[in-house]
Amino acid sequence: MSRRVVVPRSAVFGPGVVDSDGFRRCFAQSPTGAVFAAYNVLAALADQTKVSATVRKLMLPGPDTDALLSVVATEKPSTGTAATQLAGYRVLAANREQVTVMLAVPVETQYTSLTVTMVWYDGDWRLQPPPPGEAVGAPFVQVRSLGDFVKWGGL
CATH number at residue 109: 3.10.450
How far is 21 from 4, CA to CA, in rounded Å? 14
Q: Is 75 exposed, middle or buried (0-12, 13-18, 19+ CB in 10 A)?
A: exposed
The answer to the question of residue 6 being in a domain is no
User: What's the pLDDT tens digit per position in 83-124?
Assistant: 568 899 999 999 999 999 999 988 888 899 999 999 999 999
CA neighbours closer than 13 Å in the CB half-sphere of residue 127: 31
Confidence of residue 79 (pLDDT cuts 50, 70, 90): low
Per-residue pLDDT band for 78 (boundaries 50, 70, 90) equals: low
* Statement: the pTM of the whole predicted model exceeds 0.75: yes
- The single-letter code of the amino acid at 82 is A
Quote the number of domains for the chain: 1
Residue 102's domain comprises 17-151
> At 91, which helix (H) or strand (E)?
strand 88-94
Residue 3 lies in a domain: no
In a domain, 10, yes or no: no
Read off the pLDDT of each residue in 49-64 and give the average, rounded to a whole number.
Answer: 89
Is residue 80 a part of any domain in this protein? yes
